[in-house]
Each structure stands twice: as structure tokens, then as C-alpha cells.
Structure 1
Amino acid sequence: MTVTPQGGPAPKPVRLDDLDERIVWELMRDARIPNAALAARLHVAPSTTHARVKALREAGIIRSSHVEIDYAALGLDVQGIVSVRLRAQARPQIKSYASKVIQLPNVLSVFFVGGTIDFLIHVACVSTAQLRDFVATELSMDPVVASTETNIVFDHLIGQEHLGSGGLAAMRGPIR
């Protein structure tokens, strides 16, 4: 059985028809689109998109909607990606480490990855000094951590902001 990062069973793959895929695509492009506008864009009745979106949520395809934040406008001018490698003996604590780190105030995202590192941690800070202190005290000092490496983020482009009209089929298609 496959499990989610939260420890529950993973949702079973759901087969989507063309309309469901178009709805998901449009919501990926703009999760705030009003239902009436979504229906108009897809040339269907608003009741159809409403029912379909509800079904997609219940099936676990749409898990949430997000607001994209301009962290610099909030005084968090520095973002970093911190690579974290755990000690070999700490492998049993991978889930508990991720659960602890995601709750730290400066952490935006935690990615559990394969390869020579275990985690990529996206953080936002007010300065490079705060970033240095955060990595040194909150991440590196943890006894399960073997090493960290910090990269400063110069620019962050969000894929959904740049989605064209190719749809999910284009994402599944061959790379040209």
C-alpha cells in the first residue's frame, strides 16, 4: 500500500475525462477563477463545473487552493533552498524530522528527495544573516543532521503562472 507523507493511504489513481482535465488545468492556472467564469471558459453550465470541482475535491485530485505570496513585500527579502542530509543512523527519523521542520516559522516547503541529500527545504528570511542563523541553529544543530548546504534564491518562477493552453496531455507528452 502506498502512503501519503501524512501517513494515510494514498488516493487511488482516478481516471479523468477531457472536461475534468480541462477543469484541473484551468484551476492550476488560476485557482481563484469564479465558477461562472470557469464554466464560460469551458463552454459548459456552471452547475456542471460546480459538480465536477466538488467531485475532484472528494476524489483527492484537488487537495487545496493556494495564495501566492510576494515575500519581499512582507519584508522577507531573502529566500533560500537548504539541502539537508541526515546521518545514516537517523534514517528511521526521516518522517519525524520532516514533520518537525515544516512547523518552523521560516519554512515554506519541505521536499523529501532521492539522491545524495534527503531534503530540500525552501525558507524565507528577512536577511542573509537571519538565513545563516536559521540554518545554523534550526537545521544544522539537529542531532539527526549530517550536513546542510544553502543556496540563495535569486528569482522564483511558478510553473502554473506560465501555463499555456497545452493542457495536462502536453505535460504527459514526449519532451521535444
Structure 2
Amino acid sequence: MSDDLPELDRFDRAILAALSGDGRMPVTELARRIGLSKTPTQARVKRLEEAGVIAGYRAVLNPIRMGLANVAYVEVRLTDTREAALQAFNRAVRAVPEIEECHMMAAGFDYLMKVRTGDIADYRRVLGERISTLPHVASTSTYVAMEAVKETGL
């Protein structure tokens, strides 16, 4: 591995697996699960945080319980893919709360978005008023998810 990336041993990987399932796990429970004492476990967690392997801790919200059951995936094609246009598009996407994820793609389209709304009528409004008006959008294609079979983070 390069100097920038920490070498991860089996204890580090066990810590990451445990914390990804329960980020609020007390260090004593974490230590018991991975088979180390509290002090070296704390030191490992701190090292993983400082190295950026653990990027943070957050509450995992259930979007369905929040009334956001509709998921659409949107392919976006741009009219301009020069760097300034890409940066303008990226900045504008970050300001649209309904867009949960946006990825630049190496495909027959430029971006793939995951958009979450209350229902299809809400999605239609977001598409017409927000997504279609993003900088340099030429066209979109929408795919509506019928059921989440596997979603990490929930």
C-alpha cells in the first residue's frame, strides 16, 4: 500500500465492520467483539479516524418512515462537458435536496442520479422544476424503482 493509505489488519477490519453496523457502539463492547482490550481498541479507532478511513458518524434515517418512498434513477446528458460546465452542474446538483446521489459516469450519458421523493407527482415536479433546469442539461431518462431489494445504509 502507499504511504497515504493505512495498512488494515484483521482487527482494523473487525472494527470497521462493527462500527459500520452500529456507530454508537461503546468502546468496551467494540473491544470485546474484536478480542482486544479497551486501550488498544481506542487507539485503533483514533488512528482510523485520523487516516480518514472512518470519515464520520451519523444517524441513519429511514426515508420511508419520513414519507419519501419514491425512488427514481435519472440518466442525465449534458450539452457541454468541458470542465467549467461540469463544475457548474456539480455545484447546482449539491443544492437540490431530493438528489440523494449523483455520479459522473463513463457511459452513453454523463451523470446518474438517485432521486428520492414522496410520490411520483413530487418526482415529476422535481424533474420539471429542478433537474431539467440544472446547468447544461440536454436530456434526462428516468427509471422508477419498484422495490429496494438491498440498500446499504438502512
Q: TM-score range by the shorter chain?
A: 0.7 to 0.9
- Which residue in the other structure is 1:152 paired with? 144
Q: 1:98 to 1:132 in 2, by over 3 A?
A: same
Gaps of 5+ in 1: 1-10, 162-176
Alignment of 1:113-128 (within 5 A): 113-128=105-120
- Which residue in the other structure is 1:40 paired with? 32
What CA distance in whole angstroms lies between the structure 1 residues aligned with 2:54 and 2:26?
A: 16
- Which residue in the other structure is 1:57 paired with? 49
Deviates more, 1:11-20 or 1:105-114: 11-20
Residue 112 of structure 1 deviates from its aligned partner by 2.1
- Which residue in the other structure is 1:31 paired with? 23
Q: Runs of at least 4 residues of structure 1 off by over 6 A?
A: none
Tell me the number of residue pairs that the alignment of Structure 1 and Structure 2 aligns. Answer: 150
Per the normalisation by structure 2, the TM-score is 0.84
Q: 1:77 to 1:17 in 2, by over 3 A?
A: closer
RMSD: 2.1
Q: 1:60 to 1:143 in 2, by over 3 A?
A: closer
Is the Cα–Cα contact under 8 Å of residues 102 and 109 in structure 1 kept in the other structure? no
List per-residue Cα deviations over 1:65-102 (Å, max 9, x = no partner): 23332212112221211111212x23322233122212
- Which residue in the other structure is 1:3 paired with? none
Pairing partner for 1:69 from 46, 61, 74: 61
Q: 1:41 to 1:69 in 2, by over 3 A?
A: same
Is the Cα–Cα contact under 8 Å of residues 84 and 145 in structure 1 kept in the other structure? yes
Is the Cα–Cα contact under 8 Å of residues 89 and 134 in structure 2 kept in the other structure? no
Residue 134 of structure 1 deviates from its aligned partner by 0.6
- Which residue in the other structure is 2:122 paired with? 130
Is the Cα–Cα contact under 8 Å of residues 92 and 135 in structure 2 kept in the other structure? no
- What is the SS of the residue equivalent to 1:67? coil
Per the normalisation by structure 1, the TM-score is 0.75
Q: Which amino acid aligns with 2:108?
A: T
What CA distance in whole angstroms lies between the structure 2 residues aligned with 1:31 and 1:59?
A: 17
Q: 1:96 to 1:31 in 2, by over 3 A?
A: farther
Residue 143 of structure 1 deviates from its aligned partner by 4.2
Gaps of 5+ in 2: none
Q: 1:153 to 1:14 in 2, by over 3 A?
A: same
